[in-house]
């Protein structure tokens, strides 16, 4: 998994996330249920790893079928917490195809995003996913996709004035 664009810290974290063994997607009924159990196990482990490292940065839940996922993610920059809703649907061809994670409220604010607020993961993440499918799961997509994207884009968006912290917004409103 050596990749110059992935930090040693991230690689160390990802290596602790269990790899998945069930090669099944949403159309595979009974096998999908087994895959979902593995997904939840990996997600729980990833959350534990993050909490132990004092790096808790997301919440996530799914619909009953495990095909639609929604959550909140946050990134701390200049001692301020920037929080966003995120979402994704499981592709029909999952796990061969990675989920496309979207942060709709940031749509149009950065070139590293597609229509619908889907974050750009093509250059660094998609080849890594393709190489490791079906062993990678949702936890891996968050660790290797969403987390690095937030780390790169949130500071850029803040520094460009494209996003403003909610407390700063309230202060601006009081002054006007």
Position 72 pLDDT exceeds 70? yes
Overall average pLDDT of the 86-96 stretch: 97
pTM of the prediction?
Answer: 0.91
The set of residues, in sequence order, having a beta carbon less than 8 Å from that of 172 and lying 6+ positions away, is 164
Q: Would you state the pLDDT for residue 124?
A: 78
pLDDT digits (tens, 9 = 90+) for 103-136: 999 999 999 998 899 999 887 799 999 999 999 9
Residue 168 tokens, joined: 């700063």
Please give the pLDDT value at position 167: 74
Residue 166 has pLDDT above 90, yes or no: no
Mean pLDDT of 4-20: 86
Query: Per-residue pLDDT for 40 more than 60?
Result: yes
pLDDT tens digits, 44-66: 999 999 999 999 999 999 999 99
Give the chain's length: 176
Percent of the chain at pLDDT > 70 equals 92
What is residue 168's predicted lDDT score, i.e. its pLDDT? 66
Tokens 């919440």 found at: 59
For the chain, count helices (H), then strands (E).
6, 5
Catalytic residue among 11, 120, 151, 164: 120
- Residues 147-176 have a mean pLDDT of 80
For residue 73, indicate whether it is catalytic.
Answer: no
Task: Name the 3-class secondary structure at 123.
Answer: coil
Give the Cα separation of 71 and 47 in Å (integer).
Answer: 13
- Residue 171 clears pLDDT 70, i.e. is over it: no
């Amino acid at each position: 998994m050596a990749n110059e664009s992935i930090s040693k810290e991230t690689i160390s974290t990802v290596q602790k996330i269990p790899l998945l063994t069930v090669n099944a997607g949403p159309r595979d009924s009974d096998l999908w249920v087994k895959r979902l159990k593995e997904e939840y196990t990996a997600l729980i482990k990833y959350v534990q790893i993050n909490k132990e490292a004092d790096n808790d940065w997301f919440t996530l839940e799914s619909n009953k079928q495990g095909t639609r996922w929604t959550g909140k993610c946050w990134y701390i920059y200049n001692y301020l917490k920037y929080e966003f809703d995120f979402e994704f649907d499981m592709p029909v061809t999952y796990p061969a195809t990675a989920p496309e994670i979207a942060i709709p409220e940031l749509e149009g604010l950065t070139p590293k995003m597609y229509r619908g607020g889907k974050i750009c993961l093509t250059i660094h993440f998609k080849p890594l996913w393709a190489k490791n499918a079906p062993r990678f799961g949702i936890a891996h997509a968050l660790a290797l996709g969403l987390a690095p994207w937030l780390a790169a884009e949130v500071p850029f968006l803040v520094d460009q004035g494209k996003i403003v912290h909610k407390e700063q917004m309230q202060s601006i409103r009081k002054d006007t």
